Amino acid sequence: MNRKDQLDRLGDSSEAWDVIVIGGGATGLSIALDASTRGYRTALFEQADFAEGTSSKSTKLIHGGVRYLRNGEIGLVRESLRERGRLLRNAPGLVEPLEFVVPAYRWHERFFYGSGLLLYDLLAGGLGIGRTGHPGRESVLSRVPNLRGRGLRGGTLYWDGQFDDAALALAMARTAVAHGGLVLNRVKVTGLVKEGGRIRGVEISDSQEGIERVVRGKVVINATGVFADEVRRLDEEGAEISVRPSQGIHLVLERRFLGGETAVMIPKTEDGRVLFLIPWKNRLLLGTTDTEGVEASLHPRPLEEEIDYLIRHAALYLESAPSRGDIRAVFAGLRPLAKPPRSKGAASTAALSRSHCLFASASGLVTMTGGKWTTCREMGEEAVDLAASIGELPTRPCRTHDLTLLISPEPEPGESLDPELPCHMGHVERAVREEMALTLDDVLSRRTRSAFLDEAAAMRCAPRVASKMAELLGRDEAWAKAEVAAFGALRTLDQSDPTSQRPSVADPEGS
Ligand SMILES: Cc1cc2nc3c(=O)[nH]c(=O)nc-3n(C[C@H](O)[C@H](O)[C@H](O)COP(=O)(O)OP(=O)(O)OC[C@H]3O[C@@H](n4cnc5c(N)ncnc54)[C@H](O)[C@@H]3O)c2cc1C
């Protein structure tokens, strides 16, 4: 997958595309994958990098959503479990089964969560991963040695899927390209082209080459997550709000704070939220939060109170509790919750469904909002079905049910980026040559995940990686320096003194 080839294809094409997709997150990529595998001429434009928005900042679970059982959303759970099974089959090496334990500190919790998770197993049917179990206290502690032992009665075991979200996004892009699709990052859609009141294409602006032009298409799909209403307003001035962002953050800690390979799910914290402690790569992810009333942003900042909340709750469940100084990285993402039609905005976002919303405007702009990584394949299928009828495309069946996703082959080993990071210069070369990485942040945040695993280590290797990228991209040292500065500005932890307690930039004075 090479950006120059993609640009050449765009330049050579004077014919209208069948389908144009705006947005290169989970939703847009799954739509582009569905459309290109049906044989529709498909082009996708992403204003930043693939998955640079919410899609690289998830909890990294392909799950049925145990928490939705509590709300009685059985249909959503069944649909998610079916898609979980498909993703495990279609993305081998990218989505893996992960064992979870729900610790019980009261006797009735074992029975309560045990029966709920039994239903979870039953709903998965033939696509189940592993069986629910009811380990005793010692068995739970052998799986999660740092779990608080005082008052522990035992627990419930269940299984879900785990993945690297940015890597899955890239695999979807690569597979769409292999099926004739065109995907371009750093290309923003700045306007919609209308003829006789119908949308017939988009105006694009390429931040790398400075190209601005019109691209014609039979149908245009808006898959821009929390930015969906901005795009809808290019179509209809004053369009009603359809997406409500809710921020969720994760802290990245050393793996020793878990101690084993089993994840922990706390179904109900003191204020009724769900908390996950998940082994991911060589680290532990602790999350998440649900903060309403935030603005749409590509790089939302974690809030002090969100970090406090997670640190405080980790201390309730772990024997050896992390402090702020133990945080290796923090990342924040915005859930693009679909706002129910005619809502007066009174419902809390934790109570809104994670289900998706699909609709078309009078001029034919198709918009898909909400949803989850887990259900994105099905979302892609539904969006393309609707788009095909609006664009009057020949009817063709969906092909993604059993489609195996293509992953980048492992590169030749190279010089290590940092002793704290599991990546080397071979990964940097692959990112630039084959994975359309254009900025230092593309490489360190989404191709190698370095900034998500250890911000200080990512900052340490940033100058070397930027110089290597400059060499590969034909840029100069001034470019490399500017990239290091831009990468540093996006970081959320204070790197000035890595041995001190690290406050987030949302509170640079510390507190
Ligand atoms: C904290 C958190 C944890 C989550 N955990 C999970 C989980 O464990 N499992 C799960 O299944 N789901 C999870 N989700 C949900 C899942 O991550 C999201 O539903 C999904 O990533 C949304 O993808 P999207 O493509 O709709 O949005 P985005 O990923 O935000 O993509 C939209 C893209 O559109 C681009 N764009 C915007 N405007 C334009 C324009 N004018 N031109 C071109 N491009 C444009 C943006 O740059 C952006 O990249 C989680 C979400 C959050 C916030």
Q: Which CATH number is 278's domain given?
A: 3.30.9.10
Q: Where are the alpha helices (DSSP H) in 13-99?
A: 26-37, 66-70, 74-90
Average pLDDT of every residue of the chain: 91
What's the pLDDT score for residue 354? 55
> What is the number of the ligand 1 atom nearest to the C-alpha of 48?
47
Dist CA 30 CA 19 (whole Å): 13
**By percentage, how much of the chain surpasses pLDDT 90?**
78
> Could you tell which of 21, 54, 274 is best to mutate to test the pocket of ligand 1, judged by most ligand atoms within 8 Å of the CB?
54
pLDDT (0 to 100) of residue 511: 27
Domain-located, residue 87: no
Domain boundary (329, 360, 390) is at 390
Please provide the size of the chain in residues.
511
Return the bridge partners of 416, or none. Answer: 424
Q: Considering the domain boundaries, does residue 376 fall inside one?
A: yes
- Helix then strand then coil, in percent of the chain rounded to 5, is 40, 25, 40
Domain stops at, among 320, 337, 354 = 337
61 lies in some domain: no
Q: Is residue 346 over pLDDT 50?
A: no
Query: What's the 224 CA to ligand 1 centre distance in angstroms?
Result: 8
Whether ligand 1 lies within 6 angstroms of the CB of 406 is answered as no
Region 53-60 average pLDDT: 98
State how far the Cα of 194 lies from the Cα of 484, in Å rounded to an integer. 41
Residue 89 lies in a domain: no
pLDDT at 287 exceeding the cut of 80:
yes
Distance of CA 463 from the midpoint of ligand 1 (Å): 29
Whether residue 79 is contained in a domain is answered as no
Q: Which of 337, 354, 380 is the last residue of a domain?
A: 337
Residue 158 shares a structural domain with residue 179: no
Please tell me whether residues 178 and 48 are part of one structural domain.
Answer: yes
The top-scoring range by mean pLDDT among 6-20, 266-280, 443-457 is 443-457
Token pair recorded at residue 291: 């903060």
Residue 395: inside a domain, yes or no? no
Secondary structure in 3-state letters for 465-496: HHHHHHHHHCCCHHHHHHHHHHHHHHCCECCC
> In this predicted structure, what is the pLDDT of residue 340?
54
pLDDT in the model for residue 126: 83
Asked if residue 133 and residue 143 are part of one domain, the reply reads yes
18 plus 102 within the same structural domain = no
d(CA 333, CA 350): 15
pLDDT tier at 306, thresholds 50, 70, 90: very high
Q: Helix axis angle, 26-37 relative to 165-178, nearest 10°?
A: 20
Q: Which is more confidently placed, 100 or 508?
A: 100
Cβ neighbours of residue 377 under 8 Å, at least 6 residues apart?
30, 34, 83, 86, 87, 90, 400, 401
pLDDT at 499: 41
pLDDT bin (cut points 50, 70, 90) of residue 75 is: confident
| CA-proximal residue: ligand 1, atom 15 (nearest) | 372
Q: Do 227 and 137 reside in the same domain of the chain?
A: no
pLDDT digits (tens, 9 = 90+) for 153-183: 999 999 999 999 999 999 999 999 999 999 9
Beta bridge partners of 243: 338
Domain count, the chain: 3
Weakest mean pLDDT among 338-352, 366-380, 497-511: 497-511
Asked whether residue 404 is assigned to any structural domain, the reply reads no
Confidence check: pLDDT of 90 > 80: yes
Q: Could you tell me the distance, in angstroms and rounded to a whole number, from the CA of residue 143 to the centre of ligand 1?
A: 32
* Residue 449 domain flag: yes
**314 burial type by CB count under 10 A (0-12 exposed, 13-18 middle, 19+ buried):** buried
Using pLDDT thresholds of 50, 70 and 90, give the confidence band for residue 503. Answer: very low
Contacts of 459 (CB under 8 A, 6+ apart): 487, 488, 491, 495
152 Cα to the center of ligand 1, angstroms? 37
Looking at the fold, whether 331 and 434 belong to one and the same domain comes out as no
The pTM score is 0.94
Partners of residue 188 on adjacent β-strands? 205
Given this model, what pLDDT does residue 343 score?
Answer: 41
Q: Is 448 left (phi over 0), alpha (psi -120 to 50) or beta?
A: alpha
> Which stretches within 303-454 are classed as H helix?
304-317, 376-390, 425-434, 440-441, 450-453
Helix (H) or strand (E) holding 194: strand 187-195
- Structural domain of residue 7, as residue ranges? 3-54+167-242+340-390
The reply to whether ligand 1 has any atom less than 6 angstroms from the CB of 336 is: yes
Predicted confidence (pLDDT) at residue 359 exceeds the cutoff of 50 = yes
Please, are residues 249 and 332 in contact by the beta-carbon 8 Å criterion? yes
The answer, yes or no, to whether residue 509 has pLDDT greater than 70, is no
Is the same domain home to 333 and 346?
Answer: no
Phi, psi dihedrals of residue 357, rounded to the nearest 5°? -135, 130
Which one has a higher pLDDT value, 298 or 74?
298
pLDDT at 67: 77
Based on the domain organization, do 254 and 155 belong to the same domain? yes
Indicate whether 225 and 311 sit together in one domain.
Answer: no
- For ligand 1, whether the C-beta of 24 sits within 6 Å is yes
In short, whether 223's Cβ falls inside 6 Å of ligand 1 is: yes
DSSP tally for the chain: helices H, then strands E: 15, 16
Please choose, from the candidates 58, 492, 475, 73, the residue with its C-alpha nearest in 3D space to the C-alpha of residue 301.
492
Nearest CA to ligand 1 atom 31: 25
| φ and ψ at residue 284, rounded to 5 degrees | -120, 130
Q: How far is the CA of 6 from the centre of ligand 1 (A)?
A: 23
Give the residue, out of 163, 372, 439, with the most ligand 1 atoms within 8 A of its beta carbon, to mutate for a pocket test. Answer: 372
Q: Residue 348: is its pLDDT beyond 50?
A: no
**Which token pair is 98?**
């992960």
> Ligand 1: distance of its center to the CA of 336 in Å?
7
Residues 6+ apart with CB under 8 A from 240: none
Q: Whose CA is nearest to atom 25 of ligand 1?
A: 25
Residues 19 and 45 in one domain: yes
Q: d(Cα 80, Cα 77) in Å, to the nearest integer?
A: 5
- Please report, for residues 212, 391, 439, 461, the alpha-carbon distance to residue 475 in angstroms, rounded to integers and kept in the order given: 22, 42, 11, 18
Q: Pick 447 or 336 by higher pLDDT.
A: 447
Any atom of ligand 1 within 6 Å of the Cβ of 245: no
Kindly state the DSSP code that residue 210 receives in the 8-state scheme. Answer: -
For residues 365 and 456, state if they share a domain: no
46 in the same domain as 99: no
pLDDT at residue 497 above 70?
no
CA 244 to ligand 1 centroid distance, Å: 13
Mean pLDDT in residue range 124-138? 88
| pLDDT for the residue numbered 449 | 98
43 Cα–ligand 1 center, Å:
19
Kindly report the protein residue whose alpha carbon is nearest to atom 32 of ligand 1.
Answer: 224
The tokens describing 90, both together, are 């279609």
Give, for ligand 1, the residue of 224, 277, 334, 339 to mutate: max count of ligand atoms closer than 8 Å to Cβ: 224
Is 331 touching ligand 1 by the criterion CB < 6 Å?
no
Which pLDDT band, with edges at 50, 70 and 90, does 91 fall under? very high
* pLDDT class of 208 with cuts at 50, 70, 90: very high
For 386-441, what is each residue's pLDDT tens digit? 999 999 999 999 999 999 999 988 999 999 999 999 999 999 999 999 999 999 99
